[in-house]
């Protein structure tokens, strides 16, 4: 995949969560409490796996494209 910002070739990989999946939100957390209507990135892991989301990384301009 070509980077849409600089047109360099991107590297396919994954962003891994620890025990729980990462979450994206357009809002800041209030007192650390998770808000509704966010986007969970990958499924929560079980005892054998960790949550992950497929990602393309551009090492040239330090941008990532995430498929969720
Ligand atoms: Zn780039």
Q: For residue 45, what pLDDT is reported?
A: 61
Task: Give pLDDT tens digits for 3-54.
Answer: 999 999 999 999 988 877 888 888 887 776 766 778 888 876 666 778 889 9
C-alpha 65 – ligand 1 centre gap (Å) = 10
Q: For residue 36, what pLDDT is reported?
A: 73
C-alpha 42 – ligand 1 centre gap (Å) = 24
Q: For residue 27, what pLDDT is reported?
A: 83
C-alpha 34 – ligand 1 centre gap (Å) = 31
C-alpha 37 – ligand 1 centre gap (Å) = 30
C-alpha 4 – ligand 1 centre gap (Å) = 7
- Neighbour-count burial for 38-59, b at 16+ CB within 10 Å, e otherwise: eeebbeebeeeeebbbebbbbe
pTM of the model: 0.75
Task: Tell me what the mean pLDDT of segment 50-61 comes to.
Answer: 93
Of the candidates 6, 3, 7, 21, the residue with the CA atom closest to the CA atom of residue 65:
3
């Amino acid at each position: 995949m070509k980077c849409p910002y600089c047109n360099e070739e991107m590297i396919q990989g994954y962003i891994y969560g620890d025990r729980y999946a990462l979450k994206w939100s357009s809002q800041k957390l209030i007192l650390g409490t998770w808000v509704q209507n966010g986007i969970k990135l990958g499924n929560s892991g079980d005892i054998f796996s960790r949550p992950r989301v497929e990602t393309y990384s551009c090492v040239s301009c330090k941008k990532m494209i995430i498929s969720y």
